[in-house]
Amino acid sequence: MYKKKAFFITFEGIEGSGKSYLSKRFYKKIKRMGFKTIYTREPGGTLRAERIRNIILKDYFNNKSKEKFDKYTDTLLYLAARNEHIKNKIGPAMSEKKIVICDRFTDSTTAYQVYGKKVNYKFIENIHKQILGNLKPNLTFVLRVKISKALKRMNKRKSKNRYDKLSKSFYTRAQNAFIKIAKKNTKRYFMIDNSKDSNNVENIILNKFIMSYQNANRSS
Protein backbone atom coordinates (compact mmCIF):
# COMPACT_ATOMS: atom_id res chain seq x y z
CA MET A 1 0.00 0.00 0.00
CA TYR A 2 2.82 2.39 0.92
CA LYS A 3 6.37 2.73 -0.34
CA LYS A 4 9.04 1.22 1.85
CA LYS A 5 10.59 4.25 3.51
CA ALA A 6 12.22 4.89 6.88
CA PHE A 7 10.19 7.15 9.13
CA PHE A 8 11.08 8.33 12.63
CA ILE A 9 8.28 9.23 15.07
CA THR A 10 8.76 10.52 18.61
CA PHE A 11 6.30 11.06 21.45
CA GLU A 12 7.05 13.84 23.94
CA GLY A 13 5.42 15.24 27.06
CA ILE A 14 5.67 15.37 30.81
CA GLU A 15 5.00 12.43 33.12
CA GLY A 16 1.29 11.69 33.21
CA SER A 17 0.67 13.10 29.74
CA GLY A 18 -0.16 9.65 28.38
CA LYS A 19 2.67 9.55 25.85
CA SER A 20 3.92 6.07 26.79
CA TYR A 21 0.43 4.56 26.71
CA LEU A 22 -0.50 6.23 23.43
CA SER A 23 2.81 5.49 21.71
CA LYS A 24 2.50 1.78 22.55
CA ARG A 25 -1.12 1.71 21.34
CA PHE A 26 -0.08 3.44 18.14
CA TYR A 27 2.78 0.97 17.58
CA LYS A 28 0.49 -2.05 17.97
CA LYS A 29 -2.09 -0.52 15.66
CA ILE A 30 0.22 0.23 12.72
CA LYS A 31 1.99 -3.11 13.16
CA ARG A 32 -1.38 -4.84 12.69
CA MET A 33 -1.86 -2.70 9.59
CA GLY A 34 1.25 -4.25 8.06
CA PHE A 35 3.82 -1.51 8.60
CA LYS A 36 7.37 -2.63 9.28
CA THR A 37 7.96 -0.95 12.61
CA ILE A 38 9.82 -1.05 15.94
CA TYR A 39 9.02 0.48 19.32
CA THR A 40 11.68 1.86 21.64
CA ARG A 41 12.23 4.40 24.40
CA GLU A 42 14.66 6.84 25.98
CA PRO A 43 16.61 6.69 28.09
CA GLY A 44 17.12 3.05 27.17
CA GLY A 45 16.22 1.00 24.13
CA THR A 46 19.27 -1.29 24.15
CA LEU A 47 20.82 -3.50 26.82
CA ARG A 48 23.61 -1.05 27.68
CA ALA A 49 21.37 2.01 27.40
CA GLU A 50 18.86 0.37 29.76
CA ARG A 51 21.67 -0.09 32.30
CA ILE A 52 22.35 3.62 32.11
CA ARG A 53 18.61 4.26 32.45
CA ASN A 54 18.61 2.28 35.68
CA ILE A 55 21.35 4.51 37.08
CA ILE A 56 19.56 7.67 35.99
CA LEU A 57 16.08 6.79 37.24
CA LYS A 58 16.68 4.50 40.23
CA ASP A 59 20.18 5.05 41.56
CA TYR A 60 20.37 8.78 41.04
CA PHE A 61 20.26 9.53 44.74
CA ASN A 62 22.23 7.87 47.49
CA ASN A 63 19.59 7.57 50.19
CA LYS A 64 22.19 7.33 52.97
CA SER A 65 23.99 10.54 52.10
CA LYS A 66 23.50 13.94 50.53
CA GLU A 67 25.54 12.95 47.49
CA LYS A 68 23.96 13.19 44.07
CA PHE A 69 25.10 13.63 40.49
CA ASP A 70 25.94 17.07 39.22
CA LYS A 71 23.44 18.18 36.58
CA TYR A 72 26.11 17.91 33.85
CA THR A 73 27.00 14.36 34.90
CA ASP A 74 23.29 13.56 34.76
CA THR A 75 23.02 15.07 31.28
CA LEU A 76 26.07 13.16 30.04
CA LEU A 77 24.48 9.91 31.17
CA TYR A 78 21.39 10.67 29.07
CA LEU A 79 23.56 11.49 26.06
CA ALA A 80 25.67 8.36 26.54
CA ALA A 81 22.50 6.26 26.57
CA ARG A 82 21.31 8.06 23.44
CA ASN A 83 24.55 7.34 21.62
CA GLU A 84 24.23 3.60 22.36
CA HIS A 85 20.58 3.72 21.34
CA ILE A 86 21.24 5.38 18.00
CA LYS A 87 24.25 3.25 17.10
CA ASN A 88 22.68 -0.07 17.99
CA LYS A 89 18.93 0.29 17.44
CA ILE A 90 17.56 3.44 15.84
CA GLY A 91 20.25 3.75 13.17
CA PRO A 92 20.06 0.11 12.01
CA ALA A 93 16.25 0.22 11.96
CA MET A 94 16.28 3.37 9.82
CA SER A 95 18.79 1.72 7.45
CA GLU A 96 16.33 -1.15 7.09
CA LYS A 97 13.66 1.43 6.19
CA LYS A 98 11.51 0.69 9.21
CA ILE A 99 9.14 3.03 11.02
CA VAL A 100 10.75 3.82 14.37
CA ILE A 101 8.47 4.87 17.23
CA CYS A 102 10.32 6.29 20.22
CA ASP A 103 8.97 7.28 23.64
CA ARG A 104 11.05 10.45 24.29
CA PHE A 105 14.03 11.75 22.36
CA THR A 106 16.05 14.97 22.13
CA ASP A 107 13.15 17.30 22.96
CA SER A 108 12.92 15.78 26.43
CA THR A 109 16.57 16.61 26.99
CA THR A 110 15.90 20.21 26.03
CA ALA A 111 12.75 20.48 28.15
CA TYR A 112 14.11 18.81 31.27
CA GLN A 113 17.84 19.54 31.24
CA VAL A 114 17.93 22.96 29.55
CA TYR A 115 14.65 24.54 30.66
CA GLY A 116 14.22 22.50 33.84
CA LYS A 117 17.75 22.26 35.22
CA LYS A 118 19.38 25.16 33.37
CA VAL A 119 22.06 23.07 31.64
CA ASN A 120 23.78 25.08 28.92
CA TYR A 121 22.09 24.37 25.58
CA LYS A 122 25.35 24.67 23.63
CA PHE A 123 26.86 21.92 25.78
CA ILE A 124 24.14 19.51 24.65
CA GLU A 125 24.05 20.77 21.08
CA ASN A 126 27.79 20.16 20.57
CA ILE A 127 27.50 16.56 21.71
CA HIS A 128 24.37 16.04 19.61
CA LYS A 129 26.30 17.13 16.53
CA GLN A 130 28.61 14.19 17.09
CA ILE A 131 26.08 11.49 17.95
CA LEU A 132 23.02 12.44 15.87
CA GLY A 133 24.57 13.12 12.49
CA ASN A 134 21.64 13.78 10.15
CA LEU A 135 19.16 11.87 12.30
CA LYS A 136 16.05 13.77 13.33
CA PRO A 137 12.39 12.80 13.76
CA ASN A 138 10.03 13.10 10.81
CA LEU A 139 7.08 13.60 13.13
CA THR A 140 6.82 14.45 16.83
CA PHE A 141 3.63 14.19 18.85
CA VAL A 142 3.63 16.50 21.88
CA LEU A 143 1.06 15.46 24.48
CA ARG A 144 -0.04 18.31 26.68
CA VAL A 145 -2.16 17.82 29.77
CA LYS A 146 -3.60 19.72 32.71
CA ILE A 147 -0.99 19.45 35.46
CA SER A 148 -3.63 18.37 38.00
CA LYS A 149 -4.63 15.51 35.68
CA ALA A 150 -1.01 14.47 35.17
CA LEU A 151 -0.45 14.35 38.94
CA LYS A 152 -3.54 12.16 39.43
CA ARG A 153 -2.27 9.72 36.79
CA MET A 154 1.17 9.59 38.42
CA ASN A 155 -0.32 8.96 41.86
CA LYS A 156 -1.98 5.81 40.52
CA ARG A 157 1.33 4.30 39.40
CA LYS A 158 2.52 1.32 41.43
CA SER A 159 6.15 1.82 40.46
CA LYS A 160 7.64 5.32 40.51
CA ASN A 161 11.00 6.76 39.52
CA ARG A 162 12.52 10.12 40.39
CA TYR A 163 10.69 11.90 37.56
CA ASP A 164 7.35 10.92 39.06
CA LYS A 165 8.22 12.78 42.25
CA LEU A 166 9.13 16.27 41.06
CA SER A 167 7.35 19.48 42.00
CA LYS A 168 4.26 20.80 40.28
CA SER A 169 6.22 23.88 39.24
CA PHE A 170 8.85 21.70 37.55
CA TYR A 171 6.21 19.88 35.48
CA THR A 172 4.72 23.24 34.54
CA ARG A 173 8.10 24.54 33.35
CA ALA A 174 8.79 21.34 31.42
CA GLN A 175 5.40 21.35 29.70
CA ASN A 176 5.77 25.01 28.78
CA ALA A 177 9.14 24.10 27.26
CA PHE A 178 7.57 21.34 25.14
CA ILE A 179 4.91 23.76 23.93
CA LYS A 180 7.52 26.39 23.08
CA ILE A 181 9.60 23.85 21.15
CA ALA A 182 6.56 22.60 19.23
CA LYS A 183 5.45 26.07 18.20
CA LYS A 184 8.80 26.73 16.52
CA ASN A 185 8.24 24.02 13.90
CA THR A 186 4.59 23.23 13.21
CA LYS A 187 5.48 21.06 10.19
CA ARG A 188 7.23 18.47 12.33
CA TYR A 189 5.43 18.85 15.65
CA PHE A 190 1.80 18.00 16.29
CA MET A 191 0.40 19.01 19.67
CA ILE A 192 -2.54 17.19 21.26
CA ASP A 193 -4.41 17.88 24.49
CA ASN A 194 -4.72 14.56 26.30
CA SER A 195 -6.39 15.71 29.51
CA LYS A 196 -9.70 13.90 29.01
CA ASP A 197 -8.71 10.25 28.38
CA SER A 198 -10.55 10.29 25.06
CA ASN A 199 -10.22 7.36 22.64
CA ASN A 200 -10.46 9.92 19.85
CA VAL A 201 -6.84 10.90 20.54
CA GLU A 202 -5.67 7.54 19.16
CA ASN A 203 -7.53 8.19 15.90
CA ILE A 204 -6.07 11.70 15.67
CA ILE A 205 -2.54 10.28 16.04
CA LEU A 206 -3.12 7.58 13.43
CA ASN A 207 -4.63 9.99 10.89
CA LYS A 208 -1.81 12.48 11.35
CA PHE A 209 0.77 9.74 10.86
CA ILE A 210 -0.84 8.46 7.65
CA MET A 211 -1.01 11.97 6.24
CA SER A 212 2.63 12.71 7.13
CA TYR A 213 3.85 9.35 5.86
CA GLN A 214 2.06 9.75 2.54
CA ASN A 215 3.50 13.26 2.12
CA ALA A 216 7.00 11.95 2.86
CA ASN A 217 6.58 9.30 0.19
CA ARG A 218 5.40 11.81 -2.36
CA SER A 219 8.45 14.01 -1.77
CA SER A 220 10.89 11.10 -2.14
Reported as a pLDDT band with limits 50, 70 and 90, residue 173 is very high
Q: Which domains does the chain have, with CATH numbers?
A: 7-218 (3.40.50.300)
Q: Is the pLDDT of residue 47 over 90?
A: yes
Cα angle 3, 219, 35 (rounded to 5 degrees) comes to 25
**Chain centroid, CA 123 distance in Å:** 20
CB 99 within 8 A of CB 4: no
DSSP 98: P
Mean per-residue pLDDT for 166-191?
92
Q: Is the pLDDT of residue 63 over 60?
A: no
Mean per-residue pLDDT for 4-20?
93
Q: Is the pLDDT of residue 91 over 70?
A: yes
* Nearest Cα to Cα of residue 165 among 145, 150, 177, 176: 150
For residue 204, what pLDDT is reported? 96
Rounded to a whole number of angstroms, the distance between the first and last alpha carbons of the chain is 16
Percentage of the chain modeled with pLDDT above 90: 73
CB 25 within 8 A of CB 197: no
pLDDT digits (tens, 9 = 90+) for 113-160: 999 899 999 999 999 999 999 999 999 999 999 999 988 888 887 776
Mean per-residue pLDDT for 52-60?
79
Cis previous bond, 43, omega within 30:
yes
**Could you tell me which residues are beta bridge partners of residue 9?**
101, 139
Q: Is the pLDDT of residue 50 over 60?
A: yes
Q: Is the pLDDT of residue 64 over 60?
A: no
For residue 65, what pLDDT is reported? 54
How far from 163 is each of 81, 117, 168, 188, 192, CA to CA, in Å? 17, 13, 11, 26, 22
